[in-house]
Structure 1
Amino acid sequence: MRKFLLNLVLIIPVLSFNLAYSYGVTGHRVVAEIAENHLSGKAKRHLKKIIGDQKLAYWANWPDFIKSDTTGVWKQTDRWHYVNINPQPNFKMFSDSLQVQTGPNLYTQIKTLSEQIKDKKTAAKDREIALRFLIHLVGDSSQPLHVGRAEDLGGNKVKVKFFGENTNLHTLWDTKLIDFQKYSYTEYASLLDVKSKEEVKQIQSGTLEDWLYDSHQNANKIYANTLIDGSYSYDYNYKFADLMERQLLYGGLRLAKILNEIL
């Protein structure tokens, strides 16, 4: 644990403040529950050694909860939750922009944490903490505004109303659109996780760069169809509920692929 925290301090420079959080409690648990449904027997056995009998959903929101820590120990991990990139017209330009990002971010940390968990030399407690972060960050990667624009902090500065309540575009996608459906996380996971084996395989194909580009493209669609100071209600849900649910499902299935590969 002490070694893990020391590494955080050494590798992470002073970061600018960013308001972006991540999928709310329900969204992250939906992603984790779907992932758990697609774990291999081998992955389940290895996970049991790391977190015992606890479900992935239990730890899915821990990296957000620790933002309330007043000691500052975890403050430097805030930037892990996003990678902001200006709109790019194609994958090549997006990938190039992704590679030149400075400092740890959503892209680099998913890769780093995966390697830490995979490395047999990683201490047991460090592996557990890395797993908690990985569960969460893969969920973040499927929330389009976590691959949004730096100029508005991933939609945090885009003010909107949802059913008359003041909010912002990022929060609308993190929590409000999901919570509007009124499902528990287990209900939602069960309703969304209905793809065939062939469809699951297709969703899980590609690389992390491909998956982030997918989220980036969806972020661009969201920006294009959401007005600053716009007032939305049932119309916004009608327009975007399918995309929101797609992203929850894709996040869960892709998290399962990563865990099956590294465990």
Structure 2
Amino acid sequence: MKKLFNFCLIGLSIALISWGFKGHRAIATIAQKHLTSNTAYVVSAYLKGEGMADVATWADENRNNKTAPWHFLNLPLGLTHDQFVKLVTESDNNVYSAILKTEASLKDKNLTPDQKNEALKYLIHLVGDAHQPMHVSRKEDKGGNTIQVRFDNKGTNLHSLWDSKLIDREGLREADIVKTYDAATPAQIKQWQSDSPMEWIWESYQISSELYAQVKAGQRIDEAYYQKYIPVIRKRVDQAGIRLAGELNKLFNNEQVKITTVTPAPPPPPNTQIVTAVKLEDIKQATGKTVSVQGKVYSSKDIGSMVLINLGAAYPNQLLTVALKGKAKDLGNQIDTKTITVEGEVIDYKGKPEIIITDPAKIKF
């Protein structure tokens, strides 16, 4: 059964972030508003003083081979609730199992503060992912990434439309998004927080099934579509925030935090990493290795938290995607059409090889 339904990544290697930067921060901010005072203290302690909104996209920005599948869940359409629960229960390494694992980690009294910090940052993000309908959807179209549509006279795809395009259309500032979306009644809060993570993703599955039934490749997304579904997006973001707060209150409301200072391990000796030179055409076979590879930049895209550049061919036929973040992000507007040499670990992201670069010295052109 596990082989038949392979719960792997969806989407293309341009790495669209679920709910976009605005959506994830809104979810975290809504959750923060609904924490008990003790939970808020514990969360702040584990996050080392950072706000929940500030770490809301950390899990996307620090994905790797192990954690990349945690953001998604692929299922065939047409499942009954019982069939859905059976398949999800039998699966592993997806958004549902990742939420359960991170919550178990946060209950584990033997974990270090750094381990709790990482688990909490994942949970904050993954609860949001579970409520994005296109993150619980079909494998064959990579969660709607291959379904091209037009919105606001521009080309996009179904996944991106639901990640950020509909939210962006509202034109609201971050604070106004939270003010507008955080509209749950006390009765709704009680009901939403009593639902299990299985029900969260079942709701997303039902919505994505409806979206698939109503869209055709090349379709123009009109005002009627926007007016129909922006309330759905508002509700899903609000539900994610309210439910995240509920989970954190269950975990931390009665917890007494004891943060101990751990002396960091000394840095490894310099020049101990083995770097293998590979041809761009062979990059897919180098997954998991730290390599040096050269290729021409054919296209790029700034998604806010990082710049994604495609080597070897333009998207979607690229041989390698390089994600520039941190200080390296500033190179994004300097390397279009240039031939560059990149050094870093090759990961498999949504079926395509990718290298994440934070140090500008790892790129030469």
The TM-score by the shorter chain falls in which range? 0.7 to 0.9
Matched, 1:251 2:240: yes
Aligned-pair distance for 1:90? Answer: 2.4
C-alpha distance in structure 1 between counterparts of 2:146 and 2:242, whole Å: 30
* Residue 150, structure 1, aligned to residue 146, structure 2: no
**Residue 235 of structure 1: how far off its partner (Å):** 2.6
Partner of 1:4: none
**TM-score, scaled relative to structure 2:** 0.63
**d(CA) in 2 for partners of 1:206, 1:166:** 37
**Residue 112 in 1 paired to residue 108 in 2?**
no
Give the Å deviation of 1:100: 2.6
The one of 46, 55, 71 equivalent to 1:81 is 71
State the Cα distance separating 1:37 from its structure 2 match: 0.8
Taking the TM superposition and a 5 Å limit, the aligned residue runs for 1:40-119 are 40-67=36-63, 74-101=64-91, 103-119=92-108
Asked whether the 8 Å contact 1:200–1:253 carries over to 2, the reply is yes
* Counterparts of 1:148 and 1:202, CA distance in 2: 25
1:159 — aligned with what?
148
CA deviation after TM superposition for structure 1 residue 132, in Å: 0.9
- In the TM superposition, residue 87 of structure 1 has moved relative to its aligned partner by 1.6
Aligned-residue offset at 1:26: 0.2
What SS class does the counterpart of residue 167 from structure 1 fall into?
A: strand
Question: 2-side partners of 1:242 and 1:45: how far apart?
Answer: 32
Identify the structure with the greater helix proportion. Answer: 1
Measured at CA, do residues 84 and 17 of structure 1 come closer, stay the same or move farther in structure 2, by a change above 3 Å?
closer
Letter in 1 for 2:249: N
Task: Measure the CA separation in 2 of the matches of 1:197 and 1:228.
Answer: 41
Does 1:38 find its partner at 2:34?
A: yes
2:220 partner amino acid: S
Q: Aligned-pair distance for 1:212?
A: 0.8
Say which SS state the counterpart of residue 160 (structure 1) adopts: strand
Aligned 8 A contact 2:52 2:124 in 1? yes
What is the total number of aligned residue pairs between the two structures? 242
- How well do the aligned residues superpose, as a CA RMSD in angstroms? 1.6
Contact kept, 8 Å, 1:33 with 1:186, in 2: the verdict is no
Distance 1:205 1:107, change over 3 A: same
* Contact residue 184 and residue 238 of structure 2 kept, 8 A: no
Asked whether 1:29 is paired with 2:61, we answer no
CA distance in 2, matches of 1:139, 1:16: 16
CA distance in 2, matches of 1:48, 1:28: 18
Distance 1:16-1:114 versus aligned 2 partners, 3 A rule: closer
Q: Does the 8 Å CA contact 2:149/2:220 hold for their aligned counterparts? A: yes
The whole-number CA distance in structure 2 between the counterparts of 1:41 and 1:16 is: 37
| CA apart distance, 1:107 | 0.6
Q: Give the stretch that moved more between structures: 19-28 or 142-151.
A: 19-28
- More RCO (CA 8 Å, sep 6+): 1
Provide closer, same or farther for how the CA distance between residues 210 and 31 of structure 1 changes in structure 2, counting only shifts above 3 A: same
CA distance in 2 between counterparts of 1:89 and 1:207 reads: 19
Moved more, 83-92 or 133-142: 83-92
Question: Hey, what does 2:202 align to over in structure 1?
Answer: 213
Structure exhibiting the larger radius of gyration computed from Cα positions: 2
CA distance in 1, matches of 2:9, 2:171: 35
Matched residue type, 1:110: I
What does the per-residue CA deviation read over 1:201-260, in whole Å, with 9 as the maximum and x for residues that have no partner? 112222111111011101111111222211113232112111111111111111111111
Residues 145-174 of structure 1 show CA distances to partners (whole Å, capped at 9, x for unaligned) of 010111111111111111121111001000
Q: Is this contact kept in 2: 1:18–1:79, CA < 8 A?
A: no
**Matches of 2:23 and 2:60 in 1, distance apart?**
12
Unaligned runs of 5+ in 1: 1-14, 68-73
- Give the structure 1 partner of residue 116 of structure 2: 127
For 2:206 and 2:247, the matched residues in 1 are separated by 22
Partner of 1:5: none
Is contact 1:43-1:259 (8 Å) kept? yes
Q: Tell me how far 1:17 sits from its aligned partner.
A: 7.4
Query: Percent same amino acid at aligned positions?
Result: 31
Structure 2's unaligned 5+ residue stretches are 1-7, 253-365
Asked if the contact 2:9–2:72 (Cα under 8 Å) also holds between the matched residues in 1, the reply is: no
